Amino acid sequence: MNLISIEDINAPELDVFARTSDTALAGCFAPDPGIFLAETAYVSIRALEAGYEPLSMLVETGRLEAEAGPVFESIEKIWGKEKLDSIPVYTADREVTINLTGHSLVRGLWMTFRRKPEIPVEEFCKDKKRITVLFDVVNPTNVGAIIRSAAALGMDGALLTHASVDPLTRRTARVSMGTVFQLPWAKASQAQSEGTNLINTLQSYGFKTVAMALTEDSTSVDNDEIRANERLAVVLGTEGTGLPKDIIKACDYRVMIPMYHGVDSLNVAAASAISFWELMKKDF
């Protein structure tokens, strides 16, 4: 195993783990797929199981056995011993990693992986019956929570507009508990995301589009007529401002979640879970 001890937080080998942004990592091999950083052993194992190629690791010295051990086993099982022996595994004391990453609550293991080629929207939509569309959702915590709910509640995939946060950002992947590697997802191009283009495209593929929005003609989310559609795309807007008016108007349905005690809305991640649960029900 290629263990490399690090004592200096300024060591250039550690730039990729803490001094390089997610965006820079994603574009570092352009036009080929770039890399991404996964935090914690659990998330790293989910990435390995999904077929992402491991490139390097940083682990706290005191967690080599407890945290890194299962990851080493997964690498050897999936990629072989030769791959395991070739990956640089940087080790450092906890004080070094905290000063380097600033994440004292992240259990001490970080891994870099090679990205896979992006999936075109048309290919992504094939054979899918229930998808969620994240329209300019830029909060990585919300995106991670939405994808986790979509995976847990039986949705077939998540489609994101160009402006939405990348699901492989380290915080999004961590919040999702690795489900960004289990649930199929795709990002639309900038041109595909402009105006109502993406809604129109989904409708041309046979999807009925459902805008989560509070409007005069909104119906309750527990709607049997909507559930009965063979293909549904649940469209969610960014926290605070919600969906643009032209997107709401272009959708086939507008649905809301009934509220009580004067509450006018839920966090978009919480709202997504309720809508997925209701729209996936089969007892209509």
pLDDT in tens, 192-248: 999 999 999 999 999 999 998 877 788 888 888 999 999 999 999 987 788 999 999
Beta bridge partners of 211: 235, 254
pLDDT at 102 over 70: no
Average pLDDT over residues 36-56: 95
> Degrees (nearest 5) of the Cα angle 105, 111, 115?
125
Claim to verify: residue 128 and residue 235 sit in the same structural domain: yes
Same-domain check for residues 86 and 158: no
Same-domain pairing of 106 and 243: no
Task: Give the number of other Cβ atoms within 10 Å of residue 10's Cβ.
Answer: 9
40 vs 105 pLDDT, higher one: 40
Count of CB atoms within 10 A of residue 235's CB?
A: 28
CATH code, domain carrying 191? 3.40.1280.10
Q: How far apart are CA 54 and CA 19, in angstroms?
A: 19
Q: Please count the structural domains in the chain.
A: 2
| Cβ atoms of 183 and 143 closer than 8 Å | no
Q: How far is CA 162 from CA 76, 166, 168, in A?
A: 36, 9, 14
CATH of the domain at 59: 3.30.1330.30
Average pLDDT score, the chain: 89
Domain boundary pick from 89, 114, 139: 114
Would residue 58 count as lying in a domain? yes
Q: How far apart are CA 33 and CA 117, in angstroms?
A: 6
| Residue 128: domain span | 121-279
User: Of 84, 114, 144, at which residue does a domain stop?
Assistant: 114
pLDDT of 89 above 60? yes
Q: What mean pLDDT do residues 125-129 have?
A: 94
